[in-house]
Amino acid sequence: MKNILVDVTRLLDRFMAGRLPTGVDRVSLAYVGHFAHRAQAVVRFAKRSVVLTPAASARLFEALLQPSPRFGWTVRKLVGPEYCNLLRRQDIAGKFLFNTGHTGLERATYPARLRRMAVRPVFFIHDLIPITHPEYCRPGELAKHVMRMRNALEVASGIIANSQATLEALVDFAAAAGLAMPPATVALLGTPRMPEPAAARPLAEPYFVMLGTIEARKNHLLILQVWRRLVEIMGARAPRLVIIGQRGWECENVVDLLERCPSLRGVVIELSSCSDADVATYLKHAQALLFPSFAEGYGMPLVEALLLGLPVIASDLPAFREIAGDVSEYVDPIDALGWLERIAAYGAPDAPDALTAPDVPARAQQILRIERFRAPTWAAHFEVVDAFMESLA
């Protein structure tokens, strides 16, 4: 199938600004890589949608997948002439247009633009958290996301969701809004290949890792309160907590604890900037990944940890169970004593015979379960996508 268009507006905006790719961007890049040899690029700018020629699209896709210091110059060279060429019109009617980043969907005029282009939109839906849990999002995000989902349902030829949990949330939204569901499928996200972790431990003491932007939804506040209690109980023997991620929005209480709590000083380590290699190393040698979120549409850190053989203690969320089944250990996100108990159990150094002892510790039990974990792959993801596209065609 070669009648494919890929909207790369979000990727260009972020890369031109020098920003690092988010999880949403990594999904978009995977779609660029998969469709690059048979697709054309679409760029929305100043109320116009520019469709690049196949040759220019190929060069732009290559620049996105292998960015260089001349990225901005390359983009201007490729997109500028197409934007200025008002006389040339390409025959794009009936082609599938992939929008994998929710980009533009918050605009009331977006459906009309797509209808004028006469394309068949296919949207990748990452989550409905601003609708289901607006209290954890920036002010105004609820109204924007309602518009995004309404627009998607109104004009989509197809919907791809990253999990069954996300798709069910969209189905519920459609029913509540009185909108019909377009054809839809679920394709679990593939896992990016992580760098080889270093053999040397980054910390001598036992430690746990939290990975992700510091925001209210990620529940750092509960874990930091648990750590205060651990320090009260264990003193200098308390395990360390490594928080990897930038500070986000509405997390003032967390920042207060990180900056002003004496008992956490030297015990909790905040790393706002960390290379992929360093992340892999911290995960590889940790006692467990802690993932206490209140809501998630997917959960890539969970997959990355399990692939490295690292146990995971996570919130009991449908998306997490969809990915990891009964491999991970699950705790209610508001059960502070449950988290305290599990962290204490997983924090003890492993005995040499932990896997063969009559009473196998909880951490060792999960390590045994991890052996049967099979991570979703991009190959499997795009098998689902390609079959879905054939059904739509």
298 Cβ contact partners less than 8 Å away, ≥ 6 residues apart: 23, 126, 127, 162, 163, 166, 188, 189, 319, 323
Residue 83 sits in a domain of what CATH number?
3.40.50
Q: In what order do the strands lie in the sheet with 48-51?
A: 48-51, 39-45, 4-7, 96-99, 120-125, 158-161, 184-186
pLDDT at res. 88? 54
pLDDT at res. 359? 62
Residue that is written with structure tokens 């290949």 in the block: 193
Percent of the chain with pLDDT over 90: 80
Is there a single domain that holds both residue 37 and residue 177? yes
Q: Is residue 274 part of a domain?
A: yes
Residue 239 sits in a domain of what CATH number?
3.40.50.2000
Is there a single domain that holds both residue 25 and residue 51? yes
Low-confidence ranges of the chain (pLDDT < 70): 1, 46, 81-90, 350-359
Is there a single domain that holds both residue 215 and residue 167? no
Strands 96-99 and 158-161: unpaired
In the predicted model, what is the mean pLDDT of the chain?
92
Helix 54-65 and helix 9-16, axial crossing angle in degrees, nearest 10: 50
Q: What are phi and psi of 21, to 5 degrees?
A: -70, 135
Is there a single domain that holds both residue 160 and residue 219? no
Counting the structural domains of the chain, the total is 2
Q: In what order do the strands lie in the sheet with 289-291?
A: 268-271, 240-244, 207-211, 289-291, 312-315, 329-331
Kindly report, residue by residue over 278-319, the tens digit of the pLDDT: 999 999 999 999 999 999 999 999 999 999 999 999 999 999
Is there a single domain that holds both residue 44 and residue 176? yes
Is there a single domain that holds both residue 38 and residue 169? yes
Q: By residue range, what is the domain housing residue 269?
A: 207-370
Is there a single domain that holds both residue 138 and residue 163? yes
pLDDT at res. 87? 44
